[in-house]
């Protein structure tokens, strides 16, 4: 499988950026809002799409290779080597006839090169066997029909066509190149613009034979060659770039819509939570901000008829975390208290009139009593020197 990266440094940078992006996503998911996590997560497929677009446009424009000088001639001055590049046109009888004619020339060798047309998806999955078997069968059948066993040889390759031709220049060293294609490109066929790319990169004679099914080979006019170049080269790259830009705009719009929807959903949830809290607060019992009461010795009669010390108010209702002011007039000569250990309350009520703060953080109902020894019976009975603090 060929790497989609131009170099190891580029692959390392991509992996590093991927790790940084994943770390950013983890941080945002843990500490940030959901919509921001979606934006960060979208950066990874956007980067992959940008790289795929760049590779596609490079392929459409052709590899950026310098123009090569003519390779040194191999063999005697009379010897001539011809490279024939074909794939789906290998079954054409007129191509067989042309190769026979070339091989019949004295001191001429012909190499039939068949690049297997392997799609990008097949390269990613290493699914080479099907296209390679097809190319191998075509070459074998063509060689059997052509004959000339000692003068014509065949070779198949998994490399893209232009790269395969460059490799052939390093090994076979042709004096002439013939590119055989159809009039229009179809799946599994060579690109008609291939001959133009070969002319730009190799300083040897290049012929372009174009085949229509069942017809003789023809060489396209210069206008047709320019059309191939425009349809498959710079113009196609620009059109693909515009399509990629439009697709990116659509994806960006969908992403922004998703973020807006998520953000709106979060706002709606926050408003709903606030509304529920407001309704809960409205449903809570009303409590007074200030409560006035007294502590009076021998004030309230008990069941036995005797009067006992008592607070005039022994039931207190408060909201959790909301302080309540108690104005207490202790008419006794000794201190008393409102003590509830479970609620964290211990108010020491000194003789005279003073202001105190009752503040409880946790909802619940708590029993309080006076922890100063005064009227022992009253200290043990609710409504006298004991009562409840209800926190809602």
DSSP string, 347-361: EEE-SEEEEEEE---
> Quick one: pLDDT at residue 2?
47
31 or 102, greater pLDDT? 102
* Lowest mean per-residue pLDDT among 295-299, 313-317, 367-371, 374-378: 374-378
Residue spans of alpha helices (H) in 286-353: none
Average pLDDT over residues 76-92: 87
213 or 146, greater pLDDT? 146
Contact 290, 327 (CB under 8 A): yes
Place of tokens 């390779």: 71
Contact 316, 340 (CB under 8 A): no
Tell me: pLDDT of 1 over 50.
Answer: no
Does the domain formed by 80-220 have CATH 3.40.1080.20?
no
> Quick one: pLDDT at residue 113?
92
Tell me the pLDDT tens digit for each residue of 240-299. Answer: 566 666 776 676 667 667 666 766 776 777 777 777 766 665 555 577 788 889 999 988
> Quick one: pLDDT at residue 90?
87
Distance of alpha carbon 198 from alpha carbon 272, whole angstroms: 68
Distance of alpha carbon 314 from alpha carbon 382, whole angstroms: 7
Tell me: pLDDT of 154 over 70.
Answer: yes
Average pLDDT over residues 26-47: 64
267 or 40, greater pLDDT? 267
Tokens of 265: 């959903």
- Tallying the residues shown for the chain, one arrives at 392
Place of tokens 């190799």: 202
135 or 21, greater pLDDT? 135
> CB-side exposure of 148: number of CA atoms within 13 Å?
25
Average pLDDT over residues 326-353: 90
Average pLDDT over residues 364-388: 88
Query: pLDDT band at residue 356, thresholds of 50, 70 and 90?
Result: very high
Average pLDDT over residues 20-24: 71
> Quick one: pLDDT at residue 63?
46
Long-range CB contacts (within 8 A, 24+) of 181-188: 181/86, 181/89, 181/208, 181/209, 181/210, 181/211, 182/88, 182/89, 182/210, 182/211, 182/212, 183/210, 183/211, 183/212, 183/220, 185/232, 186/88, 187/117, 188/87, 188/88, 188/117, 188/131, 188/134
User: What percent of the chain is modeled with pLDDT above 70?
Assistant: 69
Instruction: Enumerate the domain spans of the chain.
Output: 8-62+239-263, 80-220, 290-391
53 or 365, greater pLDDT? 365
- How far does CA 100 lie from the centroid of its chain? 56
Nearest to 70 by CA among 266, 259, 201, 226: 201
Distance of alpha carbon 90 from alpha carbon 116, whole angstroms: 12
Tell me: pLDDT of 180 over 50.
Answer: yes
Place of tokens 């998703």: 258
> Quick one: pLDDT at residue 285?
58
Place of tokens 């007039």: 329
**What is the side-by-side strand order in the sheet with 352-358?**
307-311, 290-301, 324-330, 352-358
Average pLDDT over the chain, rounded to whole?
78
Does the domain formed by 290-391 have CATH 2.40.170.20?
no
Tokens of 203: 């300083």
Tokens of 345: 């309350």
Bridge pairing between strands 307-311 and 290-301: antiparallel
Distance of alpha carbon 17 from alpha carbon 24, whole angstroms: 10
Where would I find the beta strands (DSSP E) of 172-256? 176-182, 206-211
Nearest to 318 by CA among 282, 268, 360: 360
Q: pTM score, two decimals?
A: 0.47
Average pLDDT over residues 110-131: 77
Beta bridge partners, 366, equal 389
Q: What is the DSSP letter of 3?
A: -
Tell me the pLDDT tens digit for each residue of 194-237. Answer: 888 888 888 889 898 888 766 677 777 777 776 666 665 555 55
Tokens of 11: 């692959």
Tell me: pLDDT of 6 over 60.
Answer: no
User: What percent of the chain is modeled with pLDDT above 90?
Assistant: 9
Query: pLDDT band at residue 83, thresholds of 50, 70 and 90?
Result: very high
71 or 77, greater pLDDT? 77
> Quick one: pLDDT at residue 64?
46
* Lowest mean per-residue pLDDT among 47-61, 146-160, 351-365: 47-61
Tell me: pLDDT of 85 over 50.
Answer: yes
């Amino acid at each position: 499988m060929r790497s989609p990266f131009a170099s190891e440094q580029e692959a390392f940078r991509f992996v590093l950026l991927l790790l940084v992006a994943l770390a950013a996503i983890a941080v945002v998911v843990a500490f940030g809002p959901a919509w921001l996590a979606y934006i960060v997560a979208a950066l990874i497929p956007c980067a992959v799409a940008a790289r795929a677009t760049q590779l596609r446009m490079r392929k459409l424009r052709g590899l950026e290779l310098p123009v090569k000088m003519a390779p040194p001639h191999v063999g005697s001055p009379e010897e001539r080597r011809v490279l024939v590049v074909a794939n789906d046109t290998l079954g054409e009888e007129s191509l067989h006839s042309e190769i026979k004619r070339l091989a019949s020339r004295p001191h001429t060798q012909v190499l039939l090169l068949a690049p297997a047309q392997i799609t990008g998806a097949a390269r990613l999955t290493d699914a080479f066997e099907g296209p390679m078997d097809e190319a191998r069968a075509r070459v074998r059948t063509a060689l059997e029909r052509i004959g000339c066993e000692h003068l014509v040889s065949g070779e198949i390759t998994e490399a893209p066509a232009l790269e395969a031709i460059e490799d052939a220049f390093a090994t076979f060293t042709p004096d002439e190149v013939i590119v055989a294609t159809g009039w229009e490109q179809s799946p599994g066929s060579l690109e008609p613009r291939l001959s133009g790319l070969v002319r730009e990169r190799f300083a040897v004679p290049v012929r372009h034979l174009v085949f229509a099914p069942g017809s003789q080979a023809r060489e396209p006019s210069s206008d047709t060659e320019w059309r191939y170049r425009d349809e498959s080269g710079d113009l196609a790259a620009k059109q693909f770039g515009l399509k990629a830009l439009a697709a990116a705009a659509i994806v960006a719009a969908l992403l922004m819509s998703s973020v807006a929807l998520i953000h709106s959903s979060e706002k709606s949830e926050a408003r709903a939570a606030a509304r529920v809290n407001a309704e809960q607060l409205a449903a809570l019992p009303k409590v007074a901000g200030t409560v006035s009461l007294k502590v009076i010795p021998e004030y309230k009669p008990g069941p036995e008829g005797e009067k006992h010390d008592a607070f005039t108010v022994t039931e207190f209702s408060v909201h959790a975390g909301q302080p309540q002011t108690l104005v207490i007039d202790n008419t006794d000569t000794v201190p008393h208290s409102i003590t509830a250990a479970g609620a964290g309350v211990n108010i020491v009520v000194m003789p005279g009139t003073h202001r105190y703060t009752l503040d409880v953080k946790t909802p619940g109902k708590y029993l309080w009593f006076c922890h100063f020894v005064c009227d022992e019976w009253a200290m043990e009975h609710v409504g006298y020197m004991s009562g409840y603090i209800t926190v809602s």
